[in-house]
Amino acid sequence: MKITVLTLFPEMFAPLKESIIGRAEKSGKIQIEIVNIRDYADNKHFKCDDYPFGGGAGMVMMPQPIGSAILAVDPGHGARRIFLSPRGAVFKQSKVFELLEYEHIVLLCGHYEGVDERVIDLYIDEEISIGDYVLTGGELPAMVVCDCVARYVDGVISDGSLVDESFSDGLLEYPQYTRPAEYGGLKVPEVLLSGDHKKIDEWRKKQSVALTKKRRPDLL
């Protein structure tokens, strides 16, 4: 799988080279490339944003640099082209599994007030939001998507870690404990020290259902 991120701020992704992107690329099963939209601006000063027609605060990203960047990284439209935006469907674990089916994903990061609507009309397949709030750019949402998708690609994270995590079976994850067996006057639940894996699994499932009922009944 290949993920191409289109952004005006490639340096924001540098830390990920050490962690998620680094691990993902070491696995050899996924490639994440960060592309600077500004490199595709065809004007003398590499300008990528301008004042909005009709007035209003802030700046809007111009269509040409973005369009040229998309056509450069995905000339045959073989990729799933996603624009991170508050207008998109809210990103959920189920969407992660959908995205894992694609060989190539292009993540477009807006900035400032957003992008010229013609970019979406001409080039974008779908918009995804990471939540109902407004950020300064689509870079953090793109990192969220990269993280969620990359960790499910073989070899990035051990399969065992992926089975019982929150949302993997539609429930919140059960409480986790590690050494010491007593801390702050609180003991680890006896069942977890019993070695009886059937009972442990039953306890964990019960905890997940109870937690989900209490905190996220909407998931049931």
**In the set 15, 131, 155, 170, which binds ligand 4FV (CB under 6 A)?**
131
Considering the rule CB under 6 A, would residue 130 count as an interface residue with ligand 4FV? yes
Q: How many residues bind ligand 4FV (CB under 6 A)?
A: 16
| Angle, in degrees to the nearest 10, between helices 20-27 and 139-150 | 40
Considering the rule CB under 6 A, would residue 10 count as an interface residue with ligand 4FV? no
Considering the rule CB under 6 A, would residue 138 count as an interface residue with ligand 4FV? yes
Q: What are the angstrom distances between the C-alpha of 69 and each of 33, 89, 187, 192, 195? A: 13, 24, 56, 53, 56
For ligand 4FV, which is the closer residue by CB, 135 or 188? 135
Q: Where is 121: in which H helix or E strand?
A: helix 117-123
Residue 89 CB neighbour total at 10 angstroms:
10
CA distance 99 to 50: 32
User: Mask: binding to ligand 4FV, 37-76, rule CB under 6 A, as x and -?
Assistant: ----------------------------------------
Q: Which stretch binds ligand 4FV (CB under 6 A): 16-24, 31-39, 65-73, 78-86?
A: 78-86
**In the set 111, 120, 152, 212, which binds ligand 4FV (CB under 6 A)?**
111
Considering the rule CB under 6 A, would residue 16 count as an interface residue with ligand 4FV? no
Q: Which stretch binds ligand 4FV (CB under 6 A): 44-52, 126-134, 191-199, 203-211?
A: 126-134
Q: Could you tell me the maximum CA-CA distance found in the chain, to the nearest angstrom?
A: 70
Considering the rule CB under 6 A, would residue 141 count as an interface residue with ligand 4FV? yes
* Structure tokens that stand for 217 in this block: 């009944």
> What percent helix, strand, coil does the chain show, rounded to 5?
40, 20, 40
**In the set 86, 126, 151, 153, which binds ligand 4FV (CB under 6 A)?**
86
Please give the backbone phi and psi of residue 161, each rounded to the nearest 5 degrees, phi first: -70, -15
Q: Map residue 157 onto helix, strand or coil.
A: coil
Residues within the interface to ligand 4FV (CB under 6 A): 84-86, 110-112, 114, 129-131, 133-135, 137-138, 141
